[in-house]
Amino acid sequence: MRNRSSLIVLFLLIAAGLAGPWVAPAHLSQFSQLWLFMVLALSWDLMGGQTGYNSFGNIVFFGIGMYASAIVQVGLVYPVAEYTAAKGGGTEFVFSAEQLHAGLALGIPFGGLMAMLAAIVFGALLLGMRGHYFAIATLGLAVAAGELAAGWNYIGAGSGMVAPTPPDTVDSVRLIYFLSWGVAAVALLFYHWLLSTRFRMAINAIRDDEDKAEALGHFTVRNKMTAWAISAFFTGLAGAVYGNLSRFIDPIDIAFSPEIGVWMILMAILGGKGTFWGPVIGTIVFFVAKELFWTYLLGWQRVALGALIVIIVVFFPEGIVGWVKSRWPRLFTSPGKGDAGEAERDREAAHA
């Protein structure tokens, strides 16, 4: 899709999101989740689809963002250890509207930054690996993070942690919706811009032939690190908001959930790896499928999701956008591809 029309569609999508609370007030939580998942899929794709580093462990940044934000939100008002020791419940830990808002305003960016910091540390250790070694190492990291969180008493260990309970005066569902929408809007616009810059070519070069990129003098290490840090930052932001959406933060079922970790990959692949619109479309399609599964499959939905992974990956690896692209290649142009008409004229000239 041409850059300008693509941007117009994107603005329309974001604007449509603004109307959410009036159009679907009863399903606001689901739509919040949809926006956040979109951020996860896009962020995964920056590494997996665009840079060629297929991470099974991006969920780690989701969890770090979630916990970091919750710690700040609680810590601003109460000692965190006492709060988690009391299982976060009880009547003594009450948050006023101001405390809640201040906590969110500080906690969410902090969650993103901590995730980013973690990405830089992990990146220094892991980004020298390639292919399946990188994938398995990140998987190990993600499950280790969940186990460690489940053993750490400060953040509630295995029994989890509860995000601050909003006072009755706050319409929290709507607040969280707008936070989710806001994070998604920023992420969508940022990624759309990022993928139109030269940076995209640099990371695509890494994906297609890293040795060649190096031989051309690219700062491959720096570019990989930057991509992973950006990916982690937005994943962390999404995690920070998600903690407030689900309210209860379980170390293994929510924060470092292998399930969500696989979903973000699946959404990107379903829509089309290595494209901007792929993860966006993939998220929407996946979300509809997931809601249907959860409604109609009564307990067997997770089995069906496993089957869905196999089917998508084996039979449909190019994804929706990849399929459209191979059918109508002329819809897609980039600076290096020039104007589609021009390319067509060249082709005709070559045949003449």
Partner 1 sequence: MQNLQLLLQAPVFNVQLLLDGMFIGAIFALAAIGMALVWGVMNIINVAQGEFVMLGGFVTLMLVEAGFHPLLGIPAAAVVLFVLGWALYRAVIWRIVDGDMFISLLATFGISIMMQQLMNEIFGADVRTVESGLGVWFLFDGMVTVTQVKVAAFFLSIVIGLLLWLFLKNARLGQAIRATAQNARAARILGVDTDRVYAVTYAINAALCGAAGALVVMAWSIHPYMGLPYTLRSFMIVIVAGLGNLASVIAAGLGLGMAEQYAGFLLGAEFQLAFVFLLLVAVLVGRQITLARKRQYLK
Partner 2 sequence: MRDWQATDSPLLDVRHVTKRFGGVVANHDISLSVERGTIVGLIGPNGSGKTTLFNSIVGQHPIDAGEIWFKGQEISRYRVDHIARLGLIRTFQQTRIFGKMTCMENMLVALPESRRHLAAMFGHGSRADMERAAELLEFVGLYSKRYHEAGSLSFGQQKLLEFAMALMCEPQMLLLDEPTAGINPTLINGLVDRLRRANSEMGITLLVIEHNMRVIMNMAEYIYCLAHGELLAAGPPEEIRNDPRVIDAYLGVS
Residues forming the site for partner 2 (CB under 8 A): 194, 196-199, 201-202, 204-205, 208-209, 211-220, 222-223, 226, 334-338, 342-343, 346-347, 349-350
CB 63 within 8 A of CB 256: yes
Query: Nearer to partner 1 by C-beta: 102 or 309?
Result: 309
Measured CA to CA, the distance from residue 280 to residue 189 in angstroms comes to 12
CA-CA distance, 4 to 270, in Å (whole number)? 25
What span, in angstroms and rounded, lies between the C-alpha atoms of 267 and 294? 17
Does 137 sit near partner 1 (CB under 8 A)?
yes
Among residues 145 and 237, whose Cβ is nearest to partner 1? Answer: 145
Residues 150-179 that bind partner 1 (CB under 8 A): 150-151, 158
Q: Which of 86, 117, 129, 221 binds partner 1 (CB under 8 A)?
A: 129
Residue 305, interface with partner 1 (CB under 8 A)? yes
Nearer to partner 1, 62 or 78 (CB): 62
Say if residues 285 and 323 touch (Cβ distance below 8 Å).
no
Which of 136, 216, 288, 292 contacts partner 1 by CB under 8 A?
136
Specify the residue, 302 or 330, whose C-beta has the smaller distance to partner 1: 302
Distance from the Cα of residue 171 to its chain's centroid: 26
With H, G, I as helix, E, B as strand and everything else as coil, classify residue 248: strand
**Closest CB to partner 1 among residues 76, 139:** 139
Q: Which does 87 bind (CB under 5 to 8 A by kind): partner 2, partner 1, none?
A: none
Tell me which stretch binds partner 1 (CB under 8 A): 59-67, 90-98, 129-137, 340-348: 129-137
What are phi and psi for residue 128, nearest 5 degrees?
A: -80, -10
303 touching partner 1, by CB under 8 A: yes
- Of 308, 219, 317, 223, the residue nearest 274 (C-alpha): 317
- Nearest CA among 71, 65, 252 for reference residue 144: 252
Of 75, 86, 93, 147, the one binding partner 1 by CB under 8 A: 147
Contact yes or no for 31/18 (Cβ under 8 A): no
Tell me which H or E stretch contains 161: strand 161-162
Closest distance to partner 2 from the beta carbon of 313 (Å): 20
Q: Is 2 helix (H, G, I), strand (E, B) or coil?
A: coil
- For partner 1, the closer CB: 72 or 141: 141
Greatest CA separation found in the chain? 82
- Chain positions 231 to 270 lying near partner 1, rule: CB under 8 A, are 258, 262, 265, 269
Is 158 within 8 Å of 251 (Cβ atoms)? yes
The answer to whether residue 296 forms part of the interface with partner 1 (CB under 8 A) is: no
DSSP code for 249: E
Please report how close the Cβ of residue 214 comes to partner 2 at its closest, in angstroms.
Answer: 5
Return the half-sphere exposure (C-beta side, CA atoms, 13 A cut-off) of residue 321: 23
Among 9, 15, 120, 144, binds partner 1 (CB under 8 A): 144
Name the DSSP class of 338: -
**Of these partners, partner 1, partner 2, none, which one is at the site of residue 296 (CB under 5 to 8 Å by kind)?**
none
Residue 314 binds to partner 1 (criterion: CB under 8 A) = yes
Number of residues that bind partner 1 (CB under 8 A): 41
What are residue 153's phi and psi, to 5 degrees?
Answer: -65, -35
Return residues touching partner 1 (CB under 8 A): 54, 56, 125-126, 128-133, 135-137, 139-141, 143-144, 147-148, 150-151, 158, 258, 262, 265, 269, 299-300, 302-303, 305-310, 313-315, 317
